[in-house]
Homo-oligomer: A and B are copies of this chain.
Amino acid sequence: MNEIVLAADLGGTNLRMAAVDSDGKVLYRTGIETPRSENHKPIVASLIQLAIACREATKKDASVTAFGVAVPAIINTCGKIFNAPNLPELNGLEFSSAIASKIGVQVIVENDATAAAIGENWMGASRDFGSSICVTLGTGVGGGIVIDGKPLRGIDGTAGEIGHICVEPDGVKCGCGSFGCLEQYSSASAITRMAVELRDRYPKSLLRNKTGLGPLDIFNAGKSGDALAIEVFRRVGYYLGIAFAGLVNVLNPEVIVIGGGASAGWELFIDEVLYEIRKRAFKQPAERVRVVRAELGDDAGILGAARLALGK
């Protein structure tokens, strides 16, 4: 009988929970909207409630051995939440011990982008590769790094912040306080901002007078040949390529995985990404690295958390 673990992906919007076996098969899944409050109690209570529901649903199969949770936060090595910008009610919480005491199994908590990198490395686009970088193009740009099969966490657990590599020294101000971060040119929010900034230059664009413009509108316009939308995604690719070329020179990875909602624009940015990598990175590591689309979608974080819970 396979080992079974619980795994959760706690996001700013959704809380997803699953029971996963040691082959990475999701046996049962459930979820709710993330309950928001001024304190951490609703989130902790929901995590425990859903975890118990998952465990009940799989009880006939095996006993649950551990619980992995992916959280959008900087987490220290003892499972304490250091900083969760999108779930600030969790800041300072001794997360692992708060939940473990109610569930009765070990709780492993991991940064969500690192968990996604582990998930893709286990069951997704970077499986069979020892060293991989996983970049998530969402509202922001998240990153996770796996080296020799192990997540790179850094001394404080803050490593992997690929979205905050500087790609324009005097560029757009970033929410992190810096200027010209990759996130300001390659996230879903950046796609919308760049389209708005550029549209006066494109009087014939389909997007010229559109209100409530979003990344999907821009992607669809690009697919139908709209020059403004094509330029926006070219810039996405250009800046991704600059950041990736640096990572290729510094880390010499086998594969870079691109996921997240804005990776839907793949066909509009990937050529520029590959061009910049070839132009800017050393020949051997540039030829080595593969750049591929993520395969696990929303399950990447859950499967990464499951893998950690399995102690693999």
Contacts and interface: CB of A to CB of B under 8 A. Distances in A.
Interface string A139-158: 00001010100001111111
Copies in the complex: 2
A243 B5 CA distance: 40
Contact of A164 (B74, B143, B253, B282): B282
A153 B252 contact: yes
A147 B147 CA distance: 10
A285 B176 contact: no
A168 interface: yes
B247 A158 contact: no
Contacts of A166: 167, 242, 245-246, 280
Nearest to A129: B155
A165 to B, nearest CB: 4
B250 A247 contact: yes
Most buried by B among A74, A155, A156, A178: A155
A216 interface: no
A179 interface: yes
A288 interface: yes
Interface string A251-289: 111100000000000000000000000011110110010
B131 A285 contact: no
A47 B134 CA distance: 43
A160 interface: yes
A80 B168 CA distance: 38
Contact of A284 (B82, B131, B238, B281): B82
B152 A147 contact: yes
Nearest to A249: B161
Interface in A230-246: 238, 242, 245-246
A130 to B, nearest CB: 7
A176 B277 CA distance: 13
A154 B253 contact: yes
A155 B287 CA distance: 12
Given A153-B252, A254-B155, A168 B167 contact: no
Contacts of A253: 154-155
Which are the 4 A-B pairs with shortest beta-carbon distances?
A154-B252, A178-B280, A159-B252, A161-B249
